[in-house]
Amino acid sequence: MIQEINDNNFDQLVILDSSLPVLVDFWAPWCAPCRTLSNILEEILIEYEGKVSILKLNVDKNEKTASKYGIRSIPTMFFFKNGIKKDSHIGISSKDEIVKKLNFLIEK
């Protein structure tokens, strides 16, 4: 299951402590495309266990972080490596496209 993060632990889990590439899914429970994306990310999490970290941030409950990163539409995914945002995607995406971005971060 994908770990939920919040305003209090975002920097620690995404920026400071992660030795793996990190995908952060900015979402909300009322967002239908977010639920679809969540199913795709659950599949990827299983396949990429130990290679990447996939985390979710509920924008309704964590407005500070959502505002800090300029989240205006959901779902939005940010891809981090070594604490630095390397890529992003707004809207639903295919599993293949997400995997391609993750593989790029893993290989880099």
Q: Quick check: 77 and 89 in contact, CB under 8 A? A: yes
Identity (one letter) of the amino acid at 88? S
Amino acid at site 31: C
Q: Residue 88 has which token pair?
A: 């992003």
Per annotation, catalytic residue among 2, 15, 28, 31:
31
Q: From its phi and psi, is residue 46 left (phi > 0), alpha (psi between -120 and 50) or beta?
A: alpha
- Catalytic status, residue 34: yes
Task: Identify whether 31 is a catalytic site residue.
Answer: yes
User: In 3D, which of 72, 80, 90, 29 has the Cα closest to residue 55?
Assistant: 80
Catalytic residue among 5, 34, 71, 98: 34
Catalytically active residues are 31, 34
